[in-house]
Amino acid sequence: MIPDMEEIAKKTPAGLGTGFIDNTATRERLRLEAEKGWLRIFILYLANRPCAFWSGIRYGETFFSGDMGYDSADAQYSPGMFLIMKVIENFQAYDGNEGTSRIDWGFGDAEYKEDLSDQEWYESSLSIWAPTFTGLKLNLEKTMTGFIDRTANAVLQQTTLLQRAKRHWRDRLRQAGNKQSQETKQHRSTRHELPCGCPSAHQE
């Protein structure tokens, strides 16, 4: 599964997908989760080609979402959402013995989380500063930065500009993926035959 997941991760739109990387730490983590019986990995194949994946762990009655990604060349078909819906169907139809009744999407906001969830909550970090001039300076800098960030996000949320910007960014990445896919197909089709109609030695 790991090579297929990494192949998909490399084709996932930058900034919108997965942090999955095939390295020693990742393999050890997956091995531990598998040995504990927690690991769940779902991969969607299109014509025997991996095009979307979703990994996570099931603990108790909750499936904790982990890495996910999809091939941007197939973005027009929403393979990621299709896989998510099939997994949820699988939990309800075939996972009754395990009792998976909740999905925890983890940190961050995304449209699919808003569409598929019925609960949300906010978490924040507590900062403690030393009673010194340097501590006071750092505290003021962090406070001002956080205030600007919260104000900007509040304005964007109220004007729906944030979701529109995200949607516009996804659309641009989807168009770029489609264009790349078409160029790849055209490139391959020109190499399949020589001008004489004989099979090419570089056939793919």
**Each residue's pLDDT tens digit in the chain (204 positions)?**
999 998 898 888 754 445 688 889 999 999 999 999 999 999 999 999 999 999 999 998 899 999 999 998 888 889 999 999 999 988 876 655 567 888 999 887 788 888 888 888 888 878 888 899 998 998 898 888 888 888 877 777 676 666 666 666 666 655 665 555 555 445 443 333 333 333 333 333
Sign of CA dihedral 75, 78, 83, 88: positive
- Short-list 19, 31, 30, CA closest to 56: 30
Closest to 67 in 3D by CA, of 40, 31, 47: 40
The CATH class that applies to domain 1-123 reads alpha beta
Q: What's the CA gap between 106 and 118, in Å, rounded?
A: 14
Q: Which two tokens stand for residue 9?
A: 């991760």
Angular region, 120: left φ>0, alpha ψ -120 to 50, beta rest: beta
Distance CA 70, CA 5 (A): 9
Residue type (1 letter), 3: P
Q: Which H helix or E strand runs over 69?
A: strand 62-70
pLDDT at site 158:
72
Residue 166: predicted pLDDT: 64
- How do the domains of the chain map onto residue ranges? 1-123
DSSP tally for the chain: helices H, then strands E: 6, 4
